Amino acid sequence: MSVYPLPVVRSLAVGTPPHTVTQAESREAVKQLFPRMSQRQTMLAVFDNAQIDTRAISRPPEWYLQPHGFAEKNAVYVEVTLELGQRLCQEALDQAGLLPQDVDAFVFVTSTGISTPSLESALMERMGINRHAARLPLWGLGCAGGAAGLARAADLVRAGYKNVLYLAVELCSLTLVQNDESKSNFVGTALFADGGAALVLGPDLGDFGEVGGGLLRLHGAFSTLIEDSADVMGWDVADEGLKVRFSRDIPALVTQMMRGNVEEALTHFGWTKDEVGTYVVHPGGVKVLSAYETVLELPGGALDTSRKVLREHGNMSSATVLFVLDEALRGQPQGKGLLSAMGPGFAAEHVLVEFPKDSA
């Protein structure tokens, strides 16, 4: 039996900036942003094929039709991240019945803007969070960051921290680069969105499964860095800001490696695939989700929560898988589950979770 306390997620709050855009509006906007590429129906078809209805963005839609430099975009990133982050952190603390001064560790995940000092320090000042809290800012994990950040927050609980606040905020819409007619930039306008999630983690106090005893347990995590894969996904830094870089080969990578990778992750902790009843998967795109379903031989509807989040919110990078978790929890899952995401590295991140069983 492990000598470490088993981490439990005690609260989860998700949210977005106030502005929204429909996929139809985005499709019309790219005709102005990228007139040459928009003449190709195969490119415009990306907006329909993405199977996204609406997305949240940090500024009104018309703001994105004008050019903005890196400094201006990053200033918006800082402003909106602090506003959204404070609201979500307070909501997560309220759900957990904690005060800001109760927090003894703060994990912050992001990849869509930069700040030194990192922004969790500013939130600590704003909210009156314990000044002695350990800080762990994680940058550059991209879409995998939601899972990886959860794993690192759980590690802090195992290390003895009692009230770990975990925040992930991504403002992907701010990475739109004017006049960049690369396919990656164009496709990003059909996929990327803004959002965040905050969670409170702590040790299992023996009340798991009871009211207030936690939303889920975290049993372990498994990370895999794929060799020679840096070109698959990431940012290229330009004068205009962060330019998205991703490969159309991501679904193929899922097909090639995910079955063996998931089996390796489960075996590492003595689990089997037959025991896993709930899959919480980052919806990087509809093709990625289809590849997951096929290679893992999942039953129909297994990834409906991922598809619902993609349809209603788009791809919010690291925060997205936490939106999927929030959606999955609404269905009151029971027993063992797997939370998974892939991102820059190129890497796969898995967290083995357990949902409370019905005590009735």
Residue 190 to residues 32, 57, 82, 305, Cα–Cα distance (Å): 14, 12, 26, 20
- The alpha carbon of residue 153 and the mean position of all alpha carbons in its chain are separated, in whole angstroms, by 14
What six digits make up the tokens of 41? 């129906």
Asked about 143 being catalytic, the answer comes back as: yes
Measured CA to CA in angstroms, residue 111 lies from 50, 172, 173, 189 at distances of 22, 9, 12, 17
Phi, psi of 167 (to 5 degrees): -125, 130
How far is Cα 107 from Cα 156, in angstroms, rounded to an integer?
9
Helix (H) or strand (E) holding 47: helix 41-49
With tokens 């590492």, the residue in question is 268
Q: Which residue out of 124, 143, 302, 319 is catalytically annotated?
A: 143
Is residue 155 within a helix (H) or strand (E), and if so which, with residue range? helix 145-158
Place of tokens 């609980």: 157
Could you give the CA distance from residue 302 to residue 224 in angstroms, rounded to a whole number?
Answer: 23
Of 276, 357, 288, the residue nearest 321 (C-alpha): 288
Those residues with Cβ within 8 angstroms of residue 94's Cβ, 6 or more apart along the chain or in another chain: none
Taking phi over 0 as left and psi of -120 to 50 as alpha, with beta for the rest, 99 belongs to beta
- Nearest CA among 284, 283, 282, 260 for reference residue 273: 260
Closest residue by Cα to residue 133 from 110, 164, 93: 164
Q: Which residue has the tokens 């928009």?
A: 38
* Type and span of the H or E element at 69: none
Q: Which residues does the annotation mark as catalytic?
A: 143
